[in-house]
Amino acid sequence: MINSPFVRKPASVQSVMLQVLLALVPGIAAYAWFFGPGILVQIALATAAALVGEAAVLAVRGKPVALFLGDLSAIVTAWLIALTFPPIAPWWLTVTGTLLAIVIVKQLYGGLGQNPFNPAMAAFCLMIVAYPALMSQWPAAGQLDARTQLDLIFGGARQIDAITGATPLDALRTALRSAADPASTLHGLRAAQLMDGPAFGLIGGHGGEWVALGYLVGGLWLLQRRIITWHIPVAFCAALFAAAGLLWALKPEGFASPLFHLASGGTMLGAFFILTDPVSGATTARGKLLFAAGAAIFTYVIRVFGAYPDGIAFATLLMNICVPLIDMKTQAPVFGHKKD
Amino acid sequence: MLRKLFSFHGGVKPAPHKDQSTLAPIASVPLPERLVIPLHQSVGGHPRPLVQPGERVFKGQRIGGADGSLSSAVHASTSGLVRDIVPAVMPHTSGLTTLSVVIEPDGEDRWGELDRVNFRSTPPDELRDFLRDAGIVGLGGAVFPSHLKLKPGKEGSLQTLVINGAECEPFITCDDMLMRERAGDMLKGIIAMRHMLQAREVLIGIEDNKPQAIAAVQSAIAASGETGIEAVAIPTRYPAGGAKQLIRVLTGIEVPHGRRSTDFGVQCFNVGTAYSIFEALERGRPLISRIVTVAGNVDAPRNYEVLIGTPMDHVVRLAGARAGTDRYIMGGPMMGARMPAFDVPVVKATNCILVGSPALFPPPPPEMPCIRCGECAKACPADLAPFEMYWHSRAKNFGKAQEYHLFDCIECGCCSFVCPSHIPLVDYFRFSKSEIWAREREKEAADTARDRFEFKNFRQEREKQEKAEKLAAKAAATREKVGADGSAAAASSSTAPAKPSGDDAKRALIEAAMEKARQQKAQIQPKNTDAANPAVQAEIAAIEARRQVSATNPTDAPPDGPPSSGA
């Protein structure tokens, strides 16, 4: 028996996910333009692995496979994994990471809507702990041609150290640590001077800052489409800017500028696409602000004082843990119970 | 004049579908063959029938008397013959029946004697009784007895009387057409209400998608020369017509769940109620008809003035139901209720008969899991977090659902409307509420039973004790008496003749009691012949008579007669 309402807005999980995928396209296009087609191969690999893994578990669980594959949520997870893993990661690394995300982090917790952790970020954390070297090798923009990238993804022998470097975030942190060391040749140089190399662009990494701009454009489109609200992106960027700005203002020679932090690494991807995952994120307005600000602080701390190329994945998982408490404590007063 | 308006959180904008049914004026409906008038049409008690089957009634004659103060009278909608008073299927999704008066119209549509009342010279209590007996209830859909709401708060006066002409549900236009065509009379009803409530200002809230209604009401106000009454255009956003939402929009006041709006200096009535109050006071006509929108899967959507008790399909026929009609919905597509049959009667709550078809209202796509996207919370006009309540309702964790203010939910349907996972959220909340009510009733029943049991134990204990005390006292008295008798017998030695006479009296008493018991038994003995037809009954009577004779004179009984113990 169907009860009221008898009319519905033409909305679906599928259309929400499709719009998220579309919003990723500008960033992906910039990525492929500056860093070569490796990323497209990674996206294809992750997508295939996600669909196969999801279909297999759905079949085992006795769920309608076509209905749930059609919701496109597995593909969103796959694309986020491809975009956060190194573009020259060997194929099995991407496939294993995607299967971990879909099978264990998502489906074993009950599938769509039930996972307490962001599947893509959980996969990133697991793989970076398991394969720290492979997960930390990033080519600079324009450094590797398509052929080399494909060899690295599918080929056997890897002489990665010779041909690839670290992310700009990693590079700058290492350089800043060297600059603080009196024995180093870089001693006494400031962040601005350290960023003079070909790996760096106008405010972030060379090429990477354009990818970030692509994510920003897509994210703003999601905001305009009301798929996401402003709370998480604004709170994340503002808190990251504030944390970076505070230390930078105190000691400009020892820390990267807040703008560098906004334009580098996964900041924009995290702000608009990762932390905004509704399933594992906070849901109340105040909760979203707290959730994103907390993630920004953790991200900054891990970036500056940790040993990983970026801190967003760990920060996301740490804040995912806090979500039930945040949501419970930030429920807005309901109609007629406000104290205004 | 521009008034500062307030806003409520959330809301949705479903397609309005209001144009088609406002093209033609309100039409009348020919008398149906039969009117089925449920006695219970308002919130509160079940009115008791005041007529008998076979009785002739006038139009407007009271056929159901209000049952207590939270109740309202019911009237014959036309003159005719009361055919029956039987339980009939009521216009409710459950398909349950309710005691209804079936009237066969005589075609004369003759009014009885009509009492008019001057509201200015009549004491408020009498006015309220008058309105209760005129069957005036809220016509916005809640059908709450209006006389109870026409009391000013503790201060004896009210700041704002809000008149609800928002009509936010799609398809429904009965209030729109009422305001366009009868604004002047409606205004007279409003003036009477203002007098009863001693309200300082009157705000008539109308959604801005009804410019003609707004203009009509404004010109009626201007023509009346009244001050302190204002027609206010409010933004069109469902559910702006919810009483709490409208009060919020017009005054900024949020009336919490479970509180009276008069405590906040506000009272709210539907425009249709205002018109029916005018009809009752100035024309003496009780509430026997209302304007009903017929829309949806029909050729010519339109508004009709429909007598209460008219079968819905009788009205729909006039608008021309199209092929594919699979259901009638009473109310709009957002909050309306699916009817259990096509011939259920129009009642005071029927603002719209929405004719549905699978093409017009397709079944929702398959339900997906909640992804906590928060669209429902964004749309909720009560500022709730429906996805949290859903989570706990689904787990039957009703305590938690209540912590998330389940009972503040007004069941407007916005959350279900926007949910990208197509979850019937409102259904979950209706289910949870009814479960909680059922559990509370169960708990109450259990508490009562326990109290009763404990009292019974106490009473039995007390009786036992009293009996024991009585017995002890009696025994003591007997002992004393026997002792006294013994001494007396010993003294007189003449007790022997007294004893048999006592025994005789006892025997006579026993015999009398046995005789009485026999007679009672004969009286209550059921007969297996009661259902037989008259001819058989007569035969049986003859046999009985013969048996009586034979029983009194056993020697005269014929040898082949029935055994006298056979009855």
- Residues A285 and A309 reside in one and the same domain: yes
- Residues A60 and A198 reside in one and the same domain: no
By Cβ distance, the residue of B370, B384, B385 closest to A113 is: B370
Which top CATH class is B20-31+117-338?
alpha beta
**Boundary (domain end) residue, out of A134, A165, A196:** A165
* pLDDT, averaged across chain A: 89
Choosing among A7, A69, A288, which should be mutated to test the B contact, i.e. which has the most B CBs within 10 A?
A7
> Which residues in chain B have Cβ-Cβ distances shorter than 8 Å to A2?
338, 363-364, 424
> Which residues in chain A have Cβ-Cβ distances shorter than 8 Å to B254?
335-336, 338
- Residues A264 and A217 reside in one and the same domain: yes
CB contact under 8 A, B333 and A5: yes
Instruction: Give residue limits of the domains in chain B.
Output: 20-31+117-338, 370-474
The predicted pLDDT at position A149 comes to 86
| B168 marked as part of a ligand binding site | no
Write out the two tokens for B115.
């009492």
Q: Average the pLDDT over B250-262 and give the result.
A: 92
The predicted pLDDT at position A196 comes to 65
Q: Average the pLDDT over A238-257 and give the result.
A: 90
- Residues A142 and A258 reside in one and the same domain: no
CB contact under 8 A, B374 and A1: no
Buried b (16+ CB within 10 A) or exposed e, B270-309: bbbbbbbbbbbbbebbbbbbbbbbbbbbbeebbbbebbbb
Q: Does A66 touch chain B (CB under 8 A)?
A: no
CB-based contacts of B508, cutoff 8 Å, min separation 6: none
**Boundary (domain end) residue, out of A165, A193, A226:** A165
Q: How many domains is chain A built from?
A: 2
CB contact under 8 A, A8 and B424: no
DSSP for B165-196? ----STT--HHHHHHHHHHHHHHHHHHHHHHH
Terminal-residue alpha carbon distance, chain A = 42
> Which residues in chain A have Cβ-Cβ distances shorter than 8 Å to B248?
335
Q: Does A1 touch chain B (CB under 8 A)?
A: yes
In 3D space, the residue among B66, B75, B68 whose CA is nearest the CA of residue B114 turns out to be B75
| B174 marked as part of a ligand binding site | no
| B415 marked as part of a ligand binding site | yes
Supply φ then ψ for residue B202, to 5 degrees: -125, 125
User: How does pLDDT run across B404-449, given as a tens digit for each residue?
Assistant: 999 999 999 999 999 999 999 999 999 999 999 999 999 999 999 9
- Report the DSSP pairing between strands B158-164 and B199-207: parallel
CB contact under 8 A, A112 and B420: no
Least confident of A147-151, B102-106, B502-506: B502-506
| B268 marked as part of a ligand binding site | no
Least confident of A248-252, B208-212, B300-304: A248-252
CB B171 within 8 A of CB B15: no
User: Is the pLDDT score of B30 beyond 50?
Assistant: yes
Nearest residue of A to residue B384, measured between CA atoms:
A334
By Cβ distance, the residue of B372, B408, B416 closest to A278 is: B372
CB B98 within 8 A of CB B38: yes
> Which residues in chain A have Cβ-Cβ distances shorter than 8 Å to B8?
335
Question: What is the nearest CA distance from B414 to chain A, expressed in angstroms?
Answer: 8
CB B289 within 8 A of CB B183: no
Confidence class of residue B564 from pLDDT cuts 50, 70 and 90?
A: very low
In 3D space, the residue among B128, B148, B129 whose CA is nearest the CA of residue B138 turns out to be B148
User: How does pLDDT run across B134-173, given as a tens digit for each residue?
Assistant: 999 999 988 999 999 998 877 788 999 999 999 999 999 9
Whether A230 maps to a domain, the answer reads: yes
The predicted pLDDT at position A187 comes to 66
- Residues A158 and A184 reside in one and the same domain: no
DSSP for B460-503? HHHHHHHHHHHHHHHHHHHHHHHHHHHHHHHHH---TTHHHHHH
Question: What is the nearest CA distance from A59 to chain B, expressed in angstroms?
Answer: 16
| B370 marked as part of a ligand binding site | yes
- Residues A204 and A322 reside in one and the same domain: yes
A-to-B residue pairs, Cβ atoms closer than 8 angstroms: 138
The predicted pLDDT at position A141 comes to 81
- Residues A161 and A248 reside in one and the same domain: no
Residue numbers of the domain that contains A115: 12-165
User: How does pLDDT run across A17-39, given as a tens digit for each residue?
Assistant: 999 999 999 999 999 999 999 99
Supply φ then ψ for residue B48, to 5 degrees: -90, 145
**Boundary (domain end) residue, out of A113, A135, A165:** A165
> Which residues in chain B have Cβ-Cβ distances shorter than 8 Å to A72?
none
CB B516 within 8 A of CB B523: no
Q: Does A112 touch chain B (CB under 8 A)?
A: yes
User: Is the pLDDT score of B324 beyond 70?
Assistant: yes
Q: Average the pLDDT over A239-253 and give the result.
A: 92
| B380 marked as part of a ligand binding site | yes
CB-based contacts of B338, cutoff 8 Å, min separation 6: A1, A2, A3, A4, B93, B327, B328, B329, B356
- Residues A72 and A188 reside in one and the same domain: no
- Residues A89 and A205 reside in one and the same domain: no
The predicted pLDDT at position B508 comes to 77
The predicted pLDDT at position B323 comes to 93
Distance CA B172, CA B352 (A): 6
- Residues A185 and A159 reside in one and the same domain: no
Distance CA B27, CA B174 (A): 11
CB contact under 8 A, B371 and A278: yes
> Which residues in chain B have Cβ-Cβ distances shorter than 8 Å to A113?
368-372, 421
- Residues A234 and A156 reside in one and the same domain: no
User: How does pLDDT run across B235-253, given as a tens digit for each residue?
Assistant: 999 999 999 999 999 999 9
Write out the two tokens for A133.
């070297």
DSSP for B424-448? -HHHHHHHHHHHHHHHHHHHHHHHH
